[in-house]
Amino acid sequence: MQFRSPGPFFIILTLLSAHAMCQSLKPGLEGMSPSKWLTIRRTQAPGKTYRFNSTDTKRFTQEEYFMRAWVPLVHSKKVAVLLGPNYRAEQLEFKSSGENPVSHMEGWNLRTFALDLNSIVKLDSSSWFIFTSQINKSGDFGRLLWKEIPMNYTLSASFLRRKSVNKEVGLGVMMNKSFKITVLPVFIFNYNFSNNAGLEMILPKKIAFRKNLTPSDIIYFKSEAVSRTYYLNQLNSDALGVCRRVDIDMGMSYNRKIGNYAGVEIFAGYRKNVSNRLIEGAVPVRTSGFAGTIELYVQPPKFKKKH
């Protein structure tokens, strides 16, 4: 796989926005994408090529499946807490002739089991505290036992304030512990240029320009960081190894609401590899190229307000 230790600026944050929060508590501007209560996503990035131990170049397609569901734990006028179990499976699908030099990473063995816990505290009509956390185990579950894979976690805390009907600004901090500990600042900026266009920014994760074609159709031109870390056995060694890649997805996505309960989002663009931590014996030849994603989602159920 395409891995090398990443620059910390591009580490993926857990969900910093409160898109999954109930409508009465949720920050966000008019026209932003709908909340996603249940998400099923498939991603493909074909054309990855590597050389292994001076052999011929081998070609792979990178495939990923992701699923997450949010479960409300607390819902009141001032506080909402959500629990989000999620699962990701990834593989390199061998596309060249001959023997696959990374056969031990085939067969949906690269998996992530994670649990998100997000909460939001409404201070007044225009201010919120947003807290997020995630714990996960990510690795080659085909060769490693659950207890052999270290636990990773991410924590963040942000303050968000709505300056006007068309502008929100937030600041915060996050800490990530995977194979090392990283602390980063967080900057949130949402701004509507008009009734049907806006900017959505969560740094260091995402920058997106939004165009609302209709109340149900949104087009985004965006740049978003994509980071993956997996623990696995090293080749010819019993020691635990770490594989990590950091990419930037740049392109266009189309979000379509289907009634009041569901929707679909499609992304197509260029995946630029930023850094790699490679498996032993692998030399990257071509690590950037096309990436496409299709996502189906269910919008959250409506909560009745308490009187």
CATH number, domain with residue 132: 2.40.160.40
DSSP 101: T
247 within some domain: yes
Is it the case that residue 236 has pLDDT exceeding 70?
no
Residue 112 lies in a domain: yes
Q: Strand 181-194 and strand 282-286: pairing?
A: unpaired
Average pLDDT, the chain: 84
Answer for the pair 280, 241: CB distance below 8 angstroms, yes or no. Answer: yes
Q: Is the pLDDT of residue 218 over 50?
A: yes
| Per-residue confidence band for 105, with pLDDT thresholds at 50, 70 and 90 | low
Confidence class for position 109, pLDDT limits 50, 70, 90: confident
Predicted TM-score of the model (pTM): 0.85
Q: 287: alpha, beta or left, given left = phi > 0 and alpha = psi -120 to 50?
A: alpha
Strand partners, 92: 62
- 233 is a domain residue: yes
Q: What does the DSSP assignment read for 112-162?
A: EEEEEEEEEEEEETTEEEEEEEEEEEEEETTTS-GGGSPPEEEEEEEEEEE
Instruction: Show Cβ contacts of residue 206 under 8 Å, excluding neighbours closer than 6 positions.
Output: 200, 222, 223, 224, 225
Residue 307 resides in a domain: no
pLDDT of residue 54: 65
Domain limits at 176? 8-298
306 belongs to a structural domain: no
37-63: average pLDDT: 86
Q: Does residue 304 lie within any of the structural domains?
A: no
Q: Largest Cα–Cα distance in the chain? A: 71
Task: Specify if 2 maps to a domain.
Answer: no
| Mean pLDDT value of segment 146-155 | 92
Q: Residues 225-236: what's their mean pLDDT?
A: 83
What pLDDT does 49 receive? Answer: 86
For 242-296, the pLDDT digits (tens) are 888 889 999 999 999 998 889 999 999 999 999 888 776 678 888 899 999 999 9
pLDDT band at 152 (very low <50, low <70, confident <90, very high): very high
Count of domains for the chain? 1
Which residue would you say has higher pLDDT here, 264 or 94? 264
Q: What is the DSSP string of 286-303?
A: E--EEEEEEEEEEPPPPP
Are 148 and 138 in contact, with CB atoms under 8 Å apart?
no
Higher pLDDT among residues 55 and 69, named by residue: 69
Peptide bond into 204 cis (omega under 30): yes
Both tokens assigned to 196: 């049907």
pLDDT at residue 62, as a whole number: 86
Is the pLDDT at 9 greater than 90? The verdict is no
Which three-class secondary structure string do you get for 52-76?
A: ECCCCCEEEEEEEEEEEECEEEEEC
Residue 22 pLDDT:
45
- Per residue, what are the HEC states of 195-212? CCEEEEEEECCEEEEEEE
How far is Cα 231 from Cα 91, in angstroms, rounded to an integer? 14
**Comparison of pLDDT for 152 and 14, the residue scoring more:** 152
Greater pLDDT, 20 or 30: 30
* Distance of alpha carbon 118 from alpha carbon 15, whole angstroms: 8
What's the token pair of residue 169? 């600004």
Question: How far apart, in whole angstroms, are the C-alpha atoms of residue 145 and residue 4?
Answer: 24
**How many whole angstroms separate alpha carbon 245 and alpha carbon 10?**
10
What gap in Å lies between CA 290 and CA 295, rounded to an integer?
Answer: 17
Cα–Cα distance, 294 to 214 (Å, whole number) = 20
Please check the confidence at residue 223 and state whether its pLDDT lies above 90.
yes
Contacts of 50 (CB under 8 A, 6+ apart): 2, 57, 58, 60, 282, 283, 284, 285
95 is a domain residue: yes
Distance, C-alpha 63 to centroid of its chain:
15
